[in-house]
Chains A and B, each alone.
Chain A
Amino acid sequence: MADAPKAPRSFQEIILRLQNYWAAQGCAVLQPYDMEVGAGTFHPATTLRSLGSKPWAAAYVQPSRRPTDGRYGENPNRLQHYYQYQVIIKPSPPDLQDLYLGSLKAIGIDASLHDIRFVEDDWESPTLGAWGLGWEIWCDGMEVSQFTYFQQVGGHDCRPVSGELTYGLERLAMYVLGVDHVMDMPFNDPAAPIPLTYGDIFMQTEEEYSRHNFDGADTAQLLRHFEDAEAECQRLLDFPPLDPKSGKTIIMAHPAYDQTIKASHLFNLLDARGVISVTERQAYIGRVRALAKKCADAFRLTPAGQDAEVAQ
């Protein structure tokens, strides 16, 4: 990596630089999970792989959906669909803060010109039964990332502890590129033959999904699907571990976890449709958490989730 990289010129260049940087640090650069999730943490590469003692290092972009944040593309920084960049390393390396600062440098944030701070922010995901301690990272007063040492996931203590970094890509890129409205941000190189802005790509979808999330989605169907996902998750986990066909022990932790992800997203949609009351909200979150915990329990019994000594 060059000492003083030139400033990136587009959203995608920032993503590419992060990919290259974390690849150079030895992370497996994964692809996004192919389901609707609220945040990069939901990717099984983070939730499930942070369990058990097997070392792990992965980095990936995760498209994330927060139906209630839809603003029809009008708000300069709020979107119902956005990108997170996620890094997860287990066990957390002692120089993770320095590695993180290196990634900022790679995308053109020079610590000698900026004020970079680690400000207390303890992370908790009630739906995943997970929590950790860490910071939000401020660059000149702007929150650009979350930095968390996982302590518990799916109700299991993390041993060893994973270090998790989450970058809100649009916000970070807007800052680096000096753009005031997300829709104006160059997505590819502005000098490309066909330059595209973020708005060229996402303005219409933000409008469509905002309408869908707030008014279009069929709530009765969503409620049904929520129940279905919940039941399916449980059903998959109830299978005996021994697969008669292959003769192997195969616990369907990932397929069951997919149903948890589904239930979580359905809940988010129902929330955006405004059909969940304050008291019900807690109950729904509790139901998703119960699924996440069962999946974590199941994953801990699989080869990838066991402790090293147990596996041997």
Chain B
Amino acid sequence: MSDLLIELFSEEIPARMQARARDDLKSMITHGLVDAGLTYSSAGAFSTPRRLVLSIEGLSTESKPVREERKGPSASAPPAAIEGFLRSTGLTPDQLERRADKKGETLYAVVEKPGRAASVIIAEVLESTIRTFPWPKSMRWGTGTLRWVRPLHSILCLLSDEGGAEVVSLNIDGIQSSNTTAGHRFLSPARFPVTSFDDYAVKLKRAHVVLDSAEREAAIWQGAQNLAFAAGMEVVEDKGLLTEVAGLVEWPVPLMGRIAETFLGLPPEVLQTSMKEHQKFFSVKNPKTGRIEGFITVANTETADHGETILKGNQKVLSARLSDAKFFWENDLRVAKAGMTEWLDGLNSVTFHNKLGSQADRIARIAALAREIAPLVGADPDTAEQAAKLAKADLRSAMVGEFPELQGRMGMYYAREAGLPEAVALAARDHYSPLGPTDTVPSDPVSVAVALADKIDTLTGFWAIDEKPTGSKDPFALRRAALGVIRLVLGNGVKVCLVDLLSKAYDEIVNVSAKTRQLYIDGHPNYGIAYQINKVPFDEDGDEPRYSGQPLLIGEYLGRPAGKSVSFPAETTYGRLAGRGGEADLLAFFHDRLKVFLKDQGIRHDVIDACLAMPGNDDLTLLVKRAEALAAFLKTEDGPNMLAGFKRANTILSQAEAKDGVEYSYGADAKFAETDEERALFAALDTAEAQITPAMRSEDFAAAMAAMAQLRAPIDAFFTAVQVNSDNPIIRRNRLNLLHRIRAICSGVADLTKIDG
């Protein structure tokens, strides 16, 4: 057994690519070695900005010899067949074996591959790995043709055991493998030889390189916390940043600085984002004031002045950055306090989607929709409309222009500074939420109304122009929007018929666009005609329709000065798209997302299907209440048994109905009951019905299901004692009608026939 050490030493590898590169190196090399017949006991990959490293332990010293046998054609087969076999095996006729069998003689090719030394295999596998490495972006350099993420300078490839170490020789485009590496670029630049992985790691550390990124991360985090703690402050945790920073340094040295007083009035998110995005600084919070007052930068070197120069430089850069941020903030406040009209006007010229109009158009639609939704979620319609109108104003602010990730967040600050109601400020912040399956769901009624309106407008809009998600493609994040609606509705227990909302959203798309149209109708009678026929809205220039509300009836439209007709551009002949009928399709999309969502919550597919089959299935809250009650019921002991009884009743009844061509819904009469079990079932159904009816009325599906569960024993007893298909037609009919009562009573919550098992 021996150990293998590989180091690929290059110019600085982008931090974001390192983790993936470690995994790729490990899997490509180990798979390659194993495929070639070697075995190993463990492997570990490491990276620094300048090196990609793999250490493999317990590697076999040679591959096992392999004997491959292939059966060929009969010895008496036509020459062409035999030649083909020879070609495919690469053998000559005298190398084939002839073996007698029932049919005569058959040809066999036996290829013996002798075992190969590990070093030979390693050289091959490493070369092919380097040549085919899947960097997200790679490059050439100098006169070479080799591609790597940045110029590759040296290859260390060492096979070692108790006896010593040998270099695995390979030469790739002039880079000859060796047993040497270099230390830190500035602190220990000399090259040095190593004898094993342990020797390598120890010597690297002496040469100011911490090999393991996890160790660097830990050191940075510990160092940062110590610095902050000593100053009575705390570091704001940021895992992503920590990983990135660890990928930028070989010898991390955290340094802490203070943010100048003049910038402390900026919102904490602004400080944090600016420092992180531009400088890769961690934020440091003062627990006493709750403000971000300091920063941690991580240097890649130690200096004689203990980082003083470095810190001073960083501080200066930060001041310049924050001066910009402060300038944006102060300018933005001026606009915000003046009512944000400058931004709102500006949104007219920001295209949301070329077929769905500008951001301003979209905001008008969302505002109208939020007003409709408001009463359903307990929000004041005026406030909801106002919030919707202002929620996206910050998209035009200088700060969001600089830091797009602060959208909404800045809107909140600006709304507050402008003296708007807190609900409006919160809606600006929260109306994009929830952004994923774990993101917090807004609960303030106004935020809920605007968030729902925002997402529903997005969904209906893209449905209207036929930009639905397909397969893995979902460029407009419509699945996320639908999940957002689902979580908003369920999280806040909103009772709403989704189809109604979708219809209203479609109306808005037509109406708002019609308002846009009005501009062109004025003074141009022909536009009016075009509008009447087509409901085709035009953009500001009046020369390109964004979408059509109705199928186009004319091959030209009159959206140009009167008297001049223009043929309709080919790419805009999507007249059918915004028409009705999209709601059902979109509802099905919601149902698909809901299934995924509920499945993650442990509710079975068939349970959801059973509830989807019920009326009112566009009321998601109601739908989920049904599903939850049914799922809980099926987990009880009585549940599956009652279900079996129900299904038996249903099967017998359905067969009889099919055979007789009638529906047995005349009502069963207890006086025709012959047995105690039959009478008991009548009684049990009466009792259950008395409980189920009020429970259903108050949508207490759990109570309804509990009442149904009580039918389990009487139904079981009934089927054990009674033959439904009695010879007496009156008794038979009465019993079928009795089964119908079971079916009717048990079908209130869900369509139980859809449940598996």
Contacts and interface: CB of A to CB of B under 8 A. Distances in A.
Contacts of B299: 115
B630 to A, nearest CB: 53
A116 B186 contact: yes
B313 A94 contact: no
B205 interface: no
Interface string A76-114: 110000000000000111100100000000000001111
The interface size bin for chain B is 35 or more
A134 B11 CA distance: 9
Nearest to B314: A141
A184 interface: no
A285 B143 CA distance: 31
Contacts of A141: 279, 297, 310, 313-314, 317-318
A94 B146 CA distance: 14
A161 B146 CA distance: 12
A293 B131 CA distance: 30
Interface in B231-268: 248
Interface stretch (B12-20, B399-407, B424-432, B453-461): B12-20
A92 to B, nearest CB: 5
Contacts of A91: 141-143
A132 B140 CA distance: 10
B137 A140 contact: no
A118 interface: yes
Contacts of A76: 320, 323
Contacts of B301: 111, 115
B303 interface: yes
A117 B301 CA distance: 10
A203 interface: no
B283 interface: no
A77 B279 CA distance: 17
Contacts of B11: 97, 118
Contacts of B142: 91-94, 160-161
A135 B300 contact: no
Contacts of B143: 91, 159-161
Which of A92, A115, A159 has most chain B Cβ within 10 Å?
A: A115
A160 B297 CA distance: 38
B304 A120 contact: no
Interface in B140-157: 140-144, 149-151, 153
A92 B141 contact: yes
A300 B15 CA distance: 37
Contacts of B14: 120
B651 interface: no
Nearest to A121: B14
The CB with the most chain B CB atoms within 10 A, among A120, A135, A159, is that of: A120
A267 interface: no
Interface in B107-162: 137-144, 149-151, 153
Contacts of B314: 140-142
A139 interface: yes
A238 interface: no
A159 B304 CA distance: 43
A118 B247 CA distance: 11
Contacts of B49: 118
B300 A120 contact: no
Interface in A122-157: 122, 132-135, 139-142, 149, 151
Contacts of A160: 142-144
Nearest to A279: B351
Contacts of B572: none
B186 A111 contact: yes
Contacts of B248: 117, 119
B316 A142 contact: yes
A161 B141 contact: yes
Nearest to B135: A133
B141 A113 contact: no
A175 interface: yes
Interface string B318-356: 101001000000000000000000000000000100000
B313 A122 contact: no
Nearest to B319: A180
B309 A140 contact: yes
A149 B309 contact: no
B305 interface: yes
Contacts of B141: 91-92, 149, 161, 163
A113 to B, nearest CB: 5
A120 B309 contact: no
A149 B137 CA distance: 13
Given A91-B143, A94-B153, A141-B297, A120 B305 contact: no
Contact of A77 (B144, B150, B151, B320): B320
Contacts of B137: 122, 133
A80 to B, nearest CB: 17
Given A120-B16, A132-B139, A141-B279, A114 B151 contact: no
A163 B317 CA distance: 27
A60 to B, nearest CB: 22
Given A112-B186, A115-B301, A151 B140 contact: yes
B70 interface: no
Contacts of A140: 309-314, 317
Contacts of A163: 141
A276 B299 CA distance: 43
A117 B140 CA distance: 22
A270 to B, nearest CB: 18
Interface string A33-56: 000000000000000000000000
Interface in B144-185: 144, 149-151, 153
Contacts of A112: 186, 303-304
Given A113-B304, A175-B313, A149 B139 contact: yes
B151 A149 contact: yes
A120 B313 contact: no
Given A142-B317, A175-B313, 15 more contacts: A115-B301, A117-B248, A120-B16, A122-B137, A132-B139, A135-B12, A139-B313, A141-B279, A141-B318, A142-B316, A149-B141, A151-B140, A161-B143, A163-B141, A278-B351
Interface of A: 76-77, 91-94, 97, 111-120, 122, 132-135, 139-142, 149, 151, 158-161, 163, 175, 180, 278
25 contacts: A91-B142, A92-B151, A93-B142, A94-B142, A94-B151, A94-B153, A115-B300, A115-B303, A118-B49, A119-B12, A119-B248, A133-B150, A134-B150, A139-B313, A140-B311, A140-B314, A142-B314, A142-B317, A149-B139, A149-B141, A151-B139, A158-B140, A160-B144, A161-B142, A175-B313
What 7 A-B pairs are tightest by C-beta distance, nearest first? A140-B313, A120-B14, A118-B12, A141-B314, A115-B299, A160-B143, A133-B139
